[in-house]
Chains A and B, each alone.
Chain A
Amino acid sequence: MSMTSTAAPSPQTGAVKVAMLISGAVFVLMMLVGVLMRAAQGDLLDLDPALFYQLMTAHGAGMVGTAGLSGAAIMWYFLGRHVALTRWVFHIFLALFLLGVVLILGAIFLGGFGAGWTFLFPLPAISGGAWDLGAAAAFLLGLVSIGVAFLLFYLEAGRAMISAYGGLGNALGWPLAFGGSTENAPPPTIIAAATVTVFNTLGIVVGAAVLVVSLINLYLPEFAVDALLAKNMIFFFGHVFINASIYMAVIAVYEVVPEYTGRPWKSSRIFALAWASTLLFVMAVYPHHLLQDLVMPGWMLIMGQVISYLSGIPLLAVTAFSLIVYLKGSDIRWDLAAGLLVLGVAGWSVGSVPAIMDGMISVNKVMHNTQWVPGHFHIYLLLGEVAMAFGFMAWLVRGDVAQSRFTTLDRLGIWVYIAGAGGFTLMFLISGALSVPRRWAVHMEDWLTQDRIATGFAVLAVLGALIFVLRFVGGLGRSSKA
């Protein structure tokens, strides 16, 4: 393999477009899977419960993985504007990611694996005959492959940022955050990318450890490890990973919005401080996923609740507030990309409200196993990360800014998507508030109406997404951005 590395920073457009094409296609496909599940719950469709759980596992793994992929592609693209990245690393990243996808799909649809994407120990080993060890091993190996892909990705990102800024501390913007030094302050992209690189590398190392332990347990069951520790590690990894996808995607907002407003997005001291606090909080907050585990040490659960209030809020506030300030008073020409990116920040903000409520111990006690929880994370993702990813895709093929137009189809797509995704997630929240359980393949008579309304909204959201992806595919041919 030739190891040609670029001497000067330049974004790797071609490979990033491929990654976004895969992301867009998988997003739509997995949304369709979601529609199937909601339709089955609404008794509009006769789905074998075993298949329901396979679909749920595929939907979870597919969506989390693709959120990660699209976020990573965004980060790679814009990081390439500031530092020299080794191009083949992104090719290996894509190859390993696809290998993982193949293994996971095989495990689910050939092997019948349906233990949920969180592979909660020791569930993969105890299938009650629904799947054999090979299927569980293939699923875990698929996750390992994706983990390795991301590890290489972050190692190269870290290497490039360290060599350009002289240490991770500088790339994180710590001199700016803690010393107020604006000299050589890194741009927002670097601060965000460095933060994600640090915490997600840690998350992946922890995740790799628990995956390997689970694999060993499959074949050597006498090595039964502490299930609570395993759960802690899995949720540390899972929480950090899915948050990383949003934090990577928001880089698109920092880089693209200035093209519309004409004002550069600058790294202020508050901005650097917000990211510094995010680095700490995103890793310390994960116990809020384990509030129902009464054997957890009390202080961890309390920490989980308290940091839930803090986590992400400074960053979200800084980002959303700055965005409003930048947009206000600027003569912005809206188009699909700008609309979706702003929608992403709005969805991210709105999603934090039910999330914080769910992070309260007293609320979580009754809400945790209801559809409230999928409600909040679907707002985060569907209206947040995924919207940002679609916005980035639209921007990638937008062509020249002066000729960019907000077509009727674009407007229709956005409004259909907002209505669909908004209604769909609202139904989750309503059902959750009415104590409809999550993860049930078959629903009671009383819940069917809500399920059917949600299915209708979900179809709308898929239609919107389909418009965005088809616009992207159509734009690929004639795009001129290099």
Chain B
Amino acid sequence: MTTGFQRCGEFALALLLLLLCAAFRRTLEADPVTHMLVQLPALAWAGWLFAGVASVRRPRLEAAPTNAGGGAGLLIVFFGIVFWMLPRSIDGALTSPEIEAAKFLTVPFLVGAPLRLSWYRAHPILRGFLLSNALSMLGVLAWLYMAAPIRVCNSYLVEDQQRLGLAFLLVALSLAAIWGGRLFFKPDGGSAGDLLPDLKANGSTSYDT
């Protein structure tokens, strides 16, 4: 059970993440690796925490019939991620204050928060599918960025782009190792606090049926 104290802590952590992302905006965005792999995930994490706190206060949020099975929420997450995967959007965030402001709103509230409200409602197969897909697509991005003969972002150097590709590859491999490892050695994994599919037998899970 989440205690009130824990909830406060999570709320504070979310705020802190937002503030840090904003305060160290220039530093984080100077390098595409920290921009894409530190700032954006941190913003999404903040949204995840906010949604967690909010759904404790308003349990209806987590049980919204519109989001049965988590499909609607995950689709929002999908489009949010697609938008922020466009090199145009990243370039835009660096040159236009409006797009930058949009990033601070949409990444937490259209990626992190709906993910938190939908992930555990999704069927384990859907979750497994999304995870495998994420690995595959991280690999694709890594490959494209390492091999592309063109600069995809006007605001970043080609060598930074290649470094970003390598970073994507490392993230993909680490995630694969972590998820794969848990499937081998910790079959009871997937408790409510982390991003792993719940692999317990049908019936003992909380996903929507």
Contact = CB atoms under 8 A, between A and B. Distances in A.
Contacts of B4: none
Interface string A1-19: 0010101000000000000
A213 interface: yes
Q: Tell which of B137, B148, B200, B201 has the most Cβ of chain A within 10 Å.
A: B201
A152 B125 contact: yes
Interface in A77-99: 84, 86, 89
Interface stretch (A24-32, A163-171, A343-351, A389-397): A163-171
A353 interface: no
Given A222-B150, A225-B147, A205 B125 contact: no
Given A224-B147, A226-B147, A155 B125 contact: yes
B17 to A, nearest CB: 31
A229 interface: yes
Contacts of B167: none
A167 to B, nearest CB: 4
A170 B124 CA distance: 20
Given A208-B136, A223-B144, A3 B209 contact: yes
B185 A205 contact: no
Contact of A89 (B125, B135, B147): B125
A181 B147 CA distance: 48
Task: Give the interface SS of chain B, mostly helix, strand, loop or mixed.
Answer: helix
B35 to A, nearest CB: 21
A152 B129 contact: yes
Given A205-B132, A222-B149, A163 B200 contact: yes
Contacts of A208: 133, 136
Given A213-B140, A213-B143, A222-B150, A201 B185 contact: no
Contacts of A158: 128, 183
Q: Tell which of B129, B137, B143, B144 has the most Cβ of chain A within 10 Å.
A: B143
Contacts of B200: 163
A428 B132 CA distance: 39
Contacts of A223: 144, 147-150
B139 interface: yes
A209 B143 contact: yes
Given A223-B148, A225-B143, A163 B187 contact: yes
B206 interface: no
Q: Kindly state the interface size class of chain B when it binds its partner.
A: 20 to 34
Task: Give the interface SS of chain A, mostly helix, strand, loop or mixed.
Answer: helix
A216 interface: yes
A151 B199 contact: no
Contacts of A163: 187, 199-202
A159 interface: yes
Interface string B157-188: 00000000000000000000000000111111
A212 B132 contact: no
A346 B78 CA distance: 49
A419 interface: no
A156 interface: yes
A405 B101 CA distance: 76
Given A168-B187, A206-B136, A226-B143, 13 more contacts: A155-B128, A156-B125, A163-B187, A163-B200, A166-B187, A167-B186, A170-B187, A208-B133, A209-B140, A223-B144, A223-B147, A225-B144, A229-B147
Interface of B: 123-125, 128-129, 132-133, 135-137, 139-140, 143-144, 147-150, 183-188, 197, 199-203, 209
Interface of A: 3, 5, 7, 84, 86, 89, 148, 151-152, 155-156, 158-159, 162-164, 166-170, 201, 204-206, 208-209, 212-213, 216, 222-226, 229
12 contacts: A3-B209, A159-B125, A159-B128, A159-B199, A164-B201, A166-B188, A167-B187, A209-B137, A212-B137, A212-B140, A225-B143, A229-B147
